[in-house]
Amino acid sequence: MSYTIYFQAYENGGDGKINVQNIIECFEPYIIKKDEFGFRVKYDELNTSFIYINIENHFCDGFSVNRPCVDEKLYKSIFRVMKLGNFVSLAPSDDEYYIFDPLTIKHMPSNMIIDLENNIMKKKVIKNEKEYLELFI
């Protein structure tokens, strides 16, 4: 089964502003192809994924990983990106936010905070890279 992981950055209840080049650098040297939709990463013959991001812009507020592979290097790269801003990721189960810094919650839009307060959504604060890898590998 294939799926897509979405990542969104927030700042003071609105969209965050993350430097695209800094995101790209987190995935190097595994980038094998870039186009107007983003870039493909390859770790070996069986493990590739496509990162959707407008690489022509200087800044973005989010990106997605289509068909995330199982190579831990992908998730290590993602974890590094999460440290660049107040990122939130929707868990594959669609009922939990993955948050990479407890302070991110105060930057989320009010409707997302209300969903957390009313237990419509759960949150998991990812404290370190090892914990993040355990979710996917």
Phi, psi of 16 (to 5 degrees): -80, 175
Q: Say whether pTM exceeds 0.85.
A: yes
State how many domains the chain has.
1
Dihedral sign computed on CA atoms, order 103, 14, 80, 135? positive
The DSSP line for 38-72 is EEEEEEETTEEEEEE--TTSSEESEEEEES--S-H
- 137 residues of the chain, pLDDT tens digit each: 578 999 999 999 999 999 999 999 999 999 999 999 999 999 999 999 999 999 999 999 999 999 999 999 999 999 999 999 999 998 777 899 999 999 999 999 999 999 999 999 999 999 999 999 998 88
On whether the CB atoms of residues 24 and 31 are closer than 8 A, the answer is yes
Residue ranges making up the domain that contains 123: 4-136
